Structure 1
Amino acid sequence: MTADWTPLDAELRLWQAAGLTLPLWWRDDDATAATPALDRLAQLSEAVDLPVHLAVIPKTAEEELAGALPDHLIPVVHGWAHENHAPAGEKKAEFGAHRPLVPMRADADAGLARLTELFGTRLAPMFVPSWNRIDPALPASLSALGYCWLSTFTPRQQPEAAPGLIHVNTHLDPIDWKGGGGVVDPDRLIAQVAGQLADRREGLADRDEPYGVLTHHLVHDAAIWEFAEQLLNRLRAGPTRPWTALKGVYR
């Protein structure tokens, strides 16, 4: 893959010169089973020295998945069944405003219970709604259920999504979903990361929010794997520190 990493390299040098450190995290969605793609994800995570928060779909998660995860893959709750409840013609959502709050709360509760049974104390109490969409009225219920974290996509507007529920989002997804899959033009992705980091450095975005890379191991082709590896290696070589959601505390 030929890509121009100059914009990101230059931005990372500015962070270094300013004495800044970027908290960095990684989320990968839609896991249900042990697969060769999951093995590759674990290998890449180890190679770049950055843990992966693995968003597991509770309803369809297989028992064998628990024994297949190395310590650097951290399971989190990915909705309940990854089923779309949005009306035809609207963006997909499992926990959107199209449903009453009571069944959504019940599904979020069931998801946490199911994965706690499967993973025990290895589970990080983070809620990742399917398709990154959530009814604004639901987060207020999540902390009462036992969740400490909510994760969607795009920069957060405030540190807490609701009292007791920290909002930690992802910010870059290399997959060209609208174009039918494959990797987005790498130069465009690099410009996006560099611009997001520049906004943080200049105080235009929340510098304390961990910067999140989002992947979906089950649909990666060779180009997506290659871009992810190159990006993560570059970020880890810069002024960054790994962040994980473990027992509701920053690390």
Structure 2
Amino acid sequence: MQGDWAPLEKELAIWRNQSLDLPIWWRDDDVVAQTDALDTLVRMSDDLGLPVHLAVIPVGAEVSLVTVCAGQANLVPMVHGWAHQNHSPPGEKKAEFGHPRDGLVADATKALTRMRELFGPGFLEIFVPPWNRIDPSLVTSLGDIGYRGLSTFTSRVFRQAAPGLVQINTHIDPIHWRAGGGLVPIEQQIAGIVSLLQDRRAGQTDKTEPLGFLTHHLVHDPSIWAFTERFLSFLLDGGARPVNLADEADHLP
């Protein structure tokens, strides 16, 4: 893949030379069923040796997805809201759980129940709100409902979002949403990633939080697939440590 990867190579070399730990994790959103795109995602995860955490939309999840995940330790289902339905007031950014409304807690509870019906113990009780937006009133209730964690976007401020609820966010999204899709320009993307790593190294953000890579397999074009494989390989070859959150469910990082 074209692009100047030297700045990222240089930054990763600093991490290695200073023996710094760089945990990374992979989250893929809007998962509902077995598709060719999901098969590509699973193959890539296997080839990389990096687990992929599937943010599953409970109300739309199909048995075919359960079959794909069965016995696959590298596939970790999580809870992606309830129906991925926008409930924002007119003029506000899209969100299913981003604003107070009747049924907020009830929908989050139904989502957990549905995932248990589908996957039994084979999923991780982490709540991933659609569009990465969540109202603070719900955050304080998630632990009581039965969730272990919360995952949105951008570096966390505190490890615990609420008592008994660990926040583990994603930080890198290769899709150029503001341009209507496609891949964010390579140099722009690498510059942003290097800045993230530098902030971690300087202690400006929490370097114990696994660095999260966010994908949406259903809307990937060839350039996004290619970048995903190249970037994750680059990190792993550069010394990053793959993380499977299911292995650390009782003490999330």
* Alignment TM-score, normalising by the size of structure 2: 0.96
Deviations 1:47-84 (A, max 9, x none): 11110000000001112210112331110000000000
Gaps of 5+ in 1: none
Aligned equivalents of 2:47 and 2:187: distance in 1?
24
> What pairs up with 1:104-119 in 2 under 5 angstroms?
104-119=104-119
Please state how far the C-alpha of 1:97 moved relative to its aligned partner: 1.8
Counterpart in the other structure of 1:197: 197
| C-alpha contact (below 8 Å) 1:20/1:239 kept by paired residues | no
Give the share of equivalent positions with the same residue, in percent: 52
Counterpart in the other structure of 2:15: 15
Q: Secondary structure at the residue paired with 1:153?
A: coil
Aligned equivalents of 1:132 and 1:186: distance in 2?
24
| C-alpha contact (below 8 Å) 2:183/2:223 kept by paired residues | yes
Q: Which residue identity does 1:71 align to in structure 2?
A: A
Deviations 1:168-223 (A, max 9, x none): 00000000111011000011111111110111111111110110000000000000
C-alpha RMSD of the superposition = 1.1
Please state how far the C-alpha of 1:14 moved relative to its aligned partner: 0.4
| C-alpha contact (below 8 Å) 1:60/1:81 kept by paired residues | yes
Matched, 1:76 2:51: no
> What pairs up with 1:201-220 in 2 under 5 angstroms?
201-220=201-220
Aligned equivalents of 2:136 and 2:250: distance in 1?
22
Deviates more, 1:69-78 or 1:154-163: 69-78
Aligned equivalents of 2:81 and 2:155: distance in 1?
20
Please state how far the C-alpha of 1:119 moved relative to its aligned partner: 0.8
Deviates more, 1:112-121 or 1:91-100: 91-100
| C-alpha contact (below 8 Å) 2:100/2:137 kept by paired residues | no
| C-alpha contact (below 8 Å) 1:125/1:248 kept by paired residues | no
Aligned equivalents of 1:245 and 1:209: distance in 2?
11
Counterpart in the other structure of 1:182: 182
Please state how far the C-alpha of 1:250 moved relative to its aligned partner: 4.1
Please state how far the C-alpha of 1:98 moved relative to its aligned partner: 4.4
Please state how far the C-alpha of 1:107 moved relative to its aligned partner: 0.6
> What pairs up with 1:60-209 in 2 under 5 angstroms?
60-69=60-69, 70-100=72-102, 103-209=103-209
Q: Secondary structure at the residue paired with 2:157?
A: coil
Q: Which residue identity does 1:233 align to in structure 2?
A: S
Q: Which has the higher helix share?
A: 2
Q: Secondary structure at the residue paired with 1:111?
A: helix
| C-alpha contact (below 8 Å) 1:23/1:241 kept by paired residues | yes
Q: Secondary structure at the residue paired with 1:137?
A: helix
Please state how far the C-alpha of 1:145 moved relative to its aligned partner: 1.1
Question: Would the alpha carbon gap of residues 146 and 97 (structure 1) be closer, same or farther in structure 2, given more than 3 Å must change?
Answer: same
Please state how far the C-alpha of 1:149 moved relative to its aligned partner: 0.8
Please state how far the C-alpha of 1:248 moved relative to its aligned partner: 3.3
Q: Runs ≥4 in structure 1, deviation > 2 angstroms?
A: 247-251
